[in-house]
Amino acid sequence: MSITIQINQLEKSVQHEGNHTTLLSLPHYVIESGEQVAMMGASGSGKTTFLELLAGITTPSAGSILLNDWLFHELRDNERSHIRLEKMGLVLQDFMLFPHLTVEENVLYVYEQYKDKMNTLLTSLRIQHLRKKKVKHLSKGEQQRVAITRALLHEPSFLLMDEPTSNLDPATARVIIQTIQEEAKKTGATLLIVTHDEKVANCFPRTDNMEKLNFAYNHQEALL
Ligand SMILES: Nc1ncnc2c1ncn2[C@@H]1O[C@H](COP(=O)(O)OP(=O)(O)OP(=O)(O)O)[C@@H](O)[C@H]1O
Ligand SMILES: [Mg+2]
């Protein structure tokens, strides 16, 4: 099963230094089930803010996030966590790995039944030889690939990745993006990645730009 994302009048605001600041204002945005989208946009344009809302890590100040028929933002915290665990594969800008555990232990932490799948992915992502090593001894690019392996492991319906190739050299980035896209295609997953790399974005059938989508960012720029 795949997932369609529908956003309506979405807003995220915070109280910052005594002021009410709107970080994200997204009137309407849709990703169809099984679509593969690359999100670009300047640093600070709201990409991570948007991904954290889609993953249910934060909640909107206004508007709606519809994942298929679920009014995702209205679910209770534990229901959102359950959907995140079962249906989503996340790679965040901070990889959220356990530094003192090995690659294998990190990847299988929640889904210990997927050992074969793990080995296939580690090989595709070219880190199979590191599986017994502690994560704290890996390079940033290797750690990033551990986070990608963990995100793909349980064949989720919705893949959300925040700059998944930011620490990789161009040749490795190409291989990693190909693996992610092939996995998404195989399982029918909807895929949204954030990237600053035009070469990566060019591998995607659809590219969006948060600078244009985020009315709060446009507005802020217009005031400068
Ligand atoms: N809790 C917060 N309080 C105040 N401002 C915040 C908060 N969280 C984010 N921001 C601001 O919101 C804007 C959007 O941040 P966000 O992390 O979404 O940007 P981004 O597009 O992911 O940037 P990058 O490409 O650097 O990762 C930034 O200007 C940031 O400083
Ligand atoms: Mg970001």
- What angle (nearest 5°) sits at the alpha carbon of residue 82, between those of residues 47 and 149? 60
Average pLDDT taken over every residue of the chain: 93
**Ligand 1 atom 6 nearest Cα:** 23
Q: Does residue 14 have its Cβ closer than 6 Å to ligand 1? A: yes
Nearest-CA residue for ligand 1 atom 8 is 49
Ligand that lies nearest to the alpha carbon of residue 23, given by its number in the listed order:
1
In the predicted structure, residue 54 carries a pLDDT above the cut 70: yes
Closest residue by CA, ligand 1 atom 5 = 16
Which whole number is the average pLDDT over 29-37?
98
pTM over 0.75: yes
Block residue for tokens 């807003």:
11
What per-residue confidence (pLDDT) applies to 16? Answer: 78
Percent of the chain with pLDDT over 90: 83
What's the pLDDT tens digit per position in 197-213?
A: 999 999 999 999 999 99
User: Which pLDDT belongs to residue 220?
Assistant: 56
Asked if pLDDT for residue 223 goes beyond 60, the answer is: no
In this predicted structure, what is the pLDDT of residue 221? Answer: 52
> Confidence class of residue 69 from pLDDT cuts 50, 70 and 90?
confident
- What integer is the mean pLDDT of 36-53? 96
**Model confidence at 218: pLDDT above 90:** no
Average pLDDT of span 142-150: 96
For 80-127, what is each residue's pLDDT tens digit?
Answer: 889 898 999 999 988 899 999 999 999 999 888 999 999 999 999 999
pLDDT digits over 157-186, tens only?
A: 999 999 999 999 999 999 999 999 999 999
pLDDT of residue 72: 86
Distance 93 CA to ligand 2 centre (A): 7
At 73 the pLDDT is 83
Closest approach atom of ligand 1 to CA 45: 21
Instruction: Dump the DSSP string for the chain.
Output: ----EEEEEEEEEEEETTEEEEEEEEEEEEE-TT-EEEEE--TTSSHHHHHHHHTTSS--SEEEEEETTEEGGGS-HHHHHHHHHHHEEEE-SS----TTSBHHHHHTSS-TT-HHHHHHHHHHTT-GGGTTSBGGGS-HHHHHHHHHHHHHTT--SEEEEESTTTTS-HHHHHHHHHHHHHHHHHHT-EEEEE-S-HHHHTTSSEEEEHHHH-HHHHHHHHH-
Ligand 1: does its nearest atom lie under 6 Å from the Cβ of 43?
Answer: yes
pLDDT of residue 74: 85
